[in-house]
Structure 1
Amino acid sequence: MSTLLELRGVTVRYGGVTALDSVSISAEAGRITGLIGPNGAGKSTLFNVVSGLVRPRTGTVLLDGRDITRLVPHQRARLRMARTFQQLELFGVLSVADNVLTAAELRRGWARDNSDPKAETQAALERTGLLDVADERADGLPTGMARLLEVARALATSPRLLLLDEPAAGLNEQESAVLGALLAGLARDGLAIVLVEHDMDLVMQVCSTITVLNLGQVLMTGTPQQVRTDPAVLAAYLGSAPERTA
């Protein structure tokens, strides 16, 4: 697999607070890279750096080898980067299908290809299992379906890098399993996924590599097995209860 996203020595400071301290991570096409850590560890700041909402004080962001550190968010989106947010950001008064269609039409506006927004919408709804609720208003969806709708809308932009910020928040065990299967399938199709998540069962099941952040620094990067047995990670974040990481 080839490295698609790479952060090298990224530092972000807010006044006297260092949110990220010389952080380096990478994500490969066709794999799910997990990003975990306690609240305040710097995970959301890192996502904001990748998507262009925050410019680092030092360091470099590379996408497929290209330096994109100074590109603004819409320029990065046009390089086929998409993300979701911790808080649901749906168009509540629109239907499920129209939420996705809006993204597909925006993509057609800048992609200058022969994409068909309606076909892209249909494909995204099929992929996420939302066809049966395509005509329902987004603000009437249960949380699990709303989270899937955010993923569907991101997929309608035809990304090669997908940043997911706590997509399992508010989901029950069955809904998390559905989400996990979806993400695994997307990775098999070649998509690079970076997953910020507190659901450790989901992270351990779907991620190939996990980076642990603590106090703005990389505590370690390794396989799920390495992460869940590392004493420093257990002390800083996971705790000692084995059932949380089984």
Structure 2
Amino acid sequence: MTFRRAVVTGASSGIGWATVARLVDSGWKVIGVARRADRLEQLHRETGADVRTCDVTNQADVDALAAYVAESGGADAVVSNAGGALGLATVEESSIDDWSRMYDVNVLGTKRIVSALLPVLRASVEPGRAASILGVTSIAGQVAYEKGGGYNAAKFAQRALLQALRLELAGEPIRVIDVAPGLVHTEEFSLVRLGGDQSAADAVYADVPHPLTADDIAETIVHALELPPHVNLDQITVKPVAQAAPHKLVKGELKVNA
């Protein structure tokens, strides 16, 4: 059976939501996965995507998701997008609980999803096709910055997980793709990171000329998944023009003919 069916975690907002919408618009069958049932119901109403509640830090939830995907038609792409940052403090002063939570969601969550759904991908892939595992990491997993140590550590580890997985799957028709966004203006990322302080969250993006949007990253994800099966974009770094590095962000208008 020829099909294009994707599982997208972290689908209740931001990049995950936008990715589900883009894939549906491109003709994919999509299962949007997240913890918040009310948001998933809204996603279903707006996009028509199938939805499943699942906490990627809960093994029983992930196992139930894998069983559902296998029983309902399989999948040929998994987008491991669930993640996030907590806190903005030095390594010395930051919360160990925040570090633990970030590692569990970003790294162990990706590991749980890969381990549970990889057998489903293997069973689904057809001759001449390629299955795909795509992880949404971050430029925080490439370059460390002050007061970002916990998030840096989690995203560096997630990136290493994907690199090891790519080596382990060599010889199988399964692509491993790492999409690493820079500054993306979404409704929740900075708000959650900064403990619900809306003014502080708004300040992150204030005066930045054209930060990325969730749809920019979703477009990149869909492009990578739809390339011919022999093409693998191992790692895609996507930053706004105003961001030269995590610690180098232009505010105000970009200079012309400087």
* TM-score between both structures, scaled by the size of structure 2: 0.33
Q: Relative to total residues, which structure has the larger strand share, 1 or 2?
A: 1
